[in-house]
């Protein structure tokens, strides 16, 4: 038998490798710790054979060294001994496939591999962070390599590693596979992989300050801005936030104008917990020279960093001229549409004025709103605008001007004015008599009930502004008559098709439709007809007088509702829950909710358990995304479960226990027992 020194003839099949004695092995988790050694043994033997038969063979280094050398030279083809090993490199990340996976992964001391799908949003978000980490770790000692596999193309590898979601990451250390459970940011990946690659690695010092009652006031009072987390060691959400918060603290400590992040163990620091009314964990607060502000930002590293950098910027821009003011008020946003939020302009002596400080304090409270805050210390500019120093004015966009309201609202500041006075002034005048309610301005109308919305093809563009203002002027006449009692707005019908559908007006055939909202879920529809102000006024008055029937959003009533779990829809809620003479346990769920899907078989078992007690308890559920329900049921997440006693339907009891069958049975039994043992009220 002849021994041919041609590497390609001894090339392993996919999913298999060849050992030094020629045996074919399929890699498994049990044998991978020794696999790299066997692999090197094979190449040592084969290297000798190749050198014997080919005096021109390159024997200057191991396969691992050759791979490294070519990566450093950005060469897309990596030379192995005896044949070429093709590995594409993208942004320092190796692109692996079934042909090269084993030969790369199992010859690297430490390598991180991402299985991704090109269409996956999370994969796309990870891509730049992953590439950035690869560049940093390339220079690490010991070296850490990052690689990726398109799992939609490499189905063999995807199946072999049981990939069921994207992105999935594994790191391999000396041939042994481990699940990657670290962060998805560049700095997080770097720290995580450095720790895994080097047992002697010492992570960077925690940049998060630890606050106690002894140092809290001193630290928060001296910082221009600081973010403080109140946490509990046992809290799951706090544990999830901890690594993100730590990395954000490190990154923010390294920017040109560092921002400090701190934490308070609220289970120990009870005085601080009570002082700042901490009711849940984690609670994050921003402090500016000791003044407290709510944190309404993200809870991930990059989100925290981005949000806090924005918070560092002044909430108000300085105004230099009347021309600049006109330009800012009528400026268009990134969407190309004119900003519809009001402008708040302050006139002050100088930046040391206590009234200016009060103004900035109020502006900081409104950072998460779309208000435009401006200020000036130029007295001649104030005079040209016919305003006085120590005055705040609020102006609406010019397109919302009318004969029924002033062009500006003014607040004169004096020594008794507080931040709350300024906030009230802004909030009370932030909505024009008839403004446009869209996705950018919905927040302006939150809680402003009762609310009348007139839906049509709203367009303030050059070609359609006349037609839009014609309808708006009709609405203005009616709005003025109900001023102080009802809020009015116009909305583009195509932006609110879901509301028109809930009102039963999606197929009305009319160009203009009207909805009246007493609250978020209590709505009335104006009968479809040709629109004019007289009909609008009559409709609004009829709703206020109780002459119009409420429009209830509801799925069709089930034809067969005899199952163990009673199906409730919007139109049957009153009959099956509110007016039901029995006790009712009702689950509010969302069809897409994973927790709801997990609960479904347990909830069915619960209903079957009480099948013999249907005279006492009804187990029911309602799709809370497609049906209306009374507002006494506060549903802020899914699933939400309430127990409704037959003795007091107006006070449903929220279930806060575990969603196991035993705990649910225990809860229901306790409720029934409490009622049967309780004395009837006289």
> Residue 616 corresponds to which tokens in the numbers above?
């006492």
Parallel/antiparallel/unpaired status of strands 260-265 and 226-231: parallel
As beta bridge partners, residue 346 has 375, 392
Using CB atoms within 10 Å of the CB of residue 446, give its burial: 0 to 12 exposed, 13 to 18 middle, 19+ buried.
exposed
Q: Exactly one of 16, 120, 123, 238 is catalytic; which is it?
A: 238
Which of 87, 112, 101 is closest to 13 using CA atoms?
Answer: 101
Question: Which three-class secondary structure state does DSSP give residue 404?
Answer: coil
Parallel/antiparallel/unpaired status of strands 291-294 and 408-412: unpaired
Which of 469, 382, 391 is closest to 432 using CA atoms?
Answer: 469
Which of 6, 12, 79, 60 is closest to 39 using CA atoms?
Answer: 12
Report the run of H or E that residue 274 belongs to, with start and end.
Answer: helix 270-275
* CB contact burial 375-402 (16+ within 10 A = b; e otherwise): bbbeeebbeebebebbbbbbbbbebbeb
Distance CA 300, CA 80 (A): 42
235 catalytic? Reply is yes
Distance CA 375, CA 142 (A): 55
Q: Exactly one of 16, 120, 123, 235 is catalytic; which is it?
A: 235
238 catalytic? Reply is yes
Which of 420, 432, 405, 422 is closest to 342 using CA atoms?
Answer: 432
Count of C-beta atoms within a 10 Å radius of residue 243: 17
Distance CA 615, CA 392 (A): 65
SS3 of 157-193: the string is HHHHCCCCCCCEEEEEECCEEEECCCCCCHHHHHHHH
Give residue 70's region: left, alpha or beta (phi > 0; psi -120 to 50).
alpha
Distance CA 337, CA 473 (A): 21
As beta bridge partners, residue 102 has none
Which of 479, 487, 484 is closest to 447 using CA atoms?
Answer: 487
Distance CA 475, CA 454 (A): 8
Count of C-beta atoms within a 10 Å radius of residue 116: 22
Distance CA 620, CA 7 (A): 69
Q: Across 117-258, where does the E strand assignment appear? A: 145-150, 168-173, 176-179, 209-210, 226-231
As beta bridge partners, residue 617 has 583
Distance CA 493, CA 161 (A): 49
As beta bridge partners, residue 618 has 584
Q: Nearest 5 degrees, angle CA 628-CA 631-CA 636?
A: 85
Q: Exactly one of 16, 120, 123, 593 is catalytic; which is it?
A: 593
As beta bridge partners, residue 318 has 375
For residue 594, the number of C-alpha atoms closer than 13 Å in the C-beta half-sphere is 0
**Lookup result for tokens 């049981």:** 162
Q: Which residues are catalytic?
A: 235, 238, 593, 596
């Amino acid at each position: 038998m002849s021994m041919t020194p041609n590497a390609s003839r001894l090339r392993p099949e996919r999913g298999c490798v060849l050992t030094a004695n020629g045996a074919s092995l399929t890699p498994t988790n049990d044998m991978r710790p020794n696999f790299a050694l066997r692999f090197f043994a094979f190449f040592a033997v084969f290297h000798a054979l190749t050198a014997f038969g080919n005096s021109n063979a390159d024997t200057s280094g191991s396969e691992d060294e050759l791979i490294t050398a070519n990566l450093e030279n950005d060469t897309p083809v990596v030379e192995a001994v005896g044949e070429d090993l093709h590995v594409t490199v993208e942004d320092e990340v190796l692109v692996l496939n079934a042909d090269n996976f084993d030969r790369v992964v199992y010859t690297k001391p430490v390598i991180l591999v991402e299985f991704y799908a090109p269409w996956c949003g999370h994969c796309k978000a990870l891509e730049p962070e992953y590439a950035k980490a690869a560049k940093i770790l390339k220079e690490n000692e010991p070296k850490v390599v990052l690689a990726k596999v398109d799992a939609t193309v490499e189905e063999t590898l995807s199946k072999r590693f049981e990939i069921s979601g994207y992105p999935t990451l594994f790191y391999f250390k000396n041939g042994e596979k481990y699940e990657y459970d670290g962060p998805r940011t560049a700095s997080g990946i770097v720290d995580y992989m450095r720790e895994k690659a080097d047992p002697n690695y010492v992570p960077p010092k925690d940049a998060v300050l630890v606050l106690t009652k002894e140092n809290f006031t001193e630290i928060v009072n001296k910082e221009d801005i600081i973010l403080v987390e109140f946490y509990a060691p046992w809290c799951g959400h706090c544990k999830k936030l901890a690594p993100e918060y730590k990395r954000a603290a490190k990154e923010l400590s390294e920017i040109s104008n560092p921002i400090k992040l701190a934490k308070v163990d609220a289970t120990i620091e009870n005085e601080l917990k009570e002082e700042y009314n901490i009711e849940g964990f984690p609670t994050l607060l921003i402090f500016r020279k000791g003044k407290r502000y709510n944190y309404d930002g993200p809870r991930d590293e990059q989100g925290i960093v981005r949000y806090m950098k924005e918070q560092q910027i002044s909430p108000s821009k300085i105004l230099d001229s009347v021309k600049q003011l006109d330009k800012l008020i009528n400026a268009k946003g990134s969407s190309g549409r004119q900003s519809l939020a009001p402008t708040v302009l302050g006139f002050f002596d100088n930046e040391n004025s206590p009234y200016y400080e009060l103004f900035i304090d109020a502006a900081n409270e409104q950072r998460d709103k779309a208000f435009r805050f401006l200020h000036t210390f130029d007295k001649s500019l104030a005079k040209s605008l016919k305003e006085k120093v120590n005055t705040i004015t609020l102006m609406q966009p010019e397109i919302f001007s009318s004969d029924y309201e002033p062009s500006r609202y003014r607040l004169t500041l004096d020594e008794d004015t507080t931040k709350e006075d300024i906030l009230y002034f802004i909030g009370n005048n932030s909505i024009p008599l008839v403004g446009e309610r869209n996705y950018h301005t919905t927040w302006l109308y939150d809680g402003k009930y009762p609310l009348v919305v007139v839906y049509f093809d709203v367009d303030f563009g050059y070609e359609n502004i006349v037609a839009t203002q014609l309808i708006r002027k009709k609405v203005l006449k009616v709005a003025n008559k109900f001023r102080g009692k009802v809020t009015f707005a116009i909305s583009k019908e195509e932006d609110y098709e879901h509301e028109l559908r809930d009102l039963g007006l999606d197929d009305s055939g009319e160009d203009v439709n009207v909805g009246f909202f007493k609250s978020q879920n209590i709505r009335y529809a104006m009968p479809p007809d040709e629109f004019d102000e007289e009909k609008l006024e009559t409709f609004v008055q009829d709703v206020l007088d109780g002459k119009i029937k409420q429009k209830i959003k509801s799925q069709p009533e089930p034809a067969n509702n005899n199952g163990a779990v009673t199906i409730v829809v919007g139109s049957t809620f009153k009959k099956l829950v509110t007016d039901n003479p029995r006790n009712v346990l009702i689950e509010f769920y969302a069809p897409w909710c994973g927790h709801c899907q997990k609960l479904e078989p347990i909830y069915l078992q619960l209903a079957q358990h009480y099948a013999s007690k249907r005279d006492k308890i009804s187990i029911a559920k309602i799709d809370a995304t497609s049906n209306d329900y009374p507002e006494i049921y506060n549903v802020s997440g899914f699933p939400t479960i309430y127990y409704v006693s037959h003795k007091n339907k107006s006070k449903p009891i929220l279930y806060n226990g575990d969603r196991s069958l035993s705990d649910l049975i225990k809860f229901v039994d306790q409720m029934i027992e409490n009622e049967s043992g309780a004395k009837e009220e006289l």
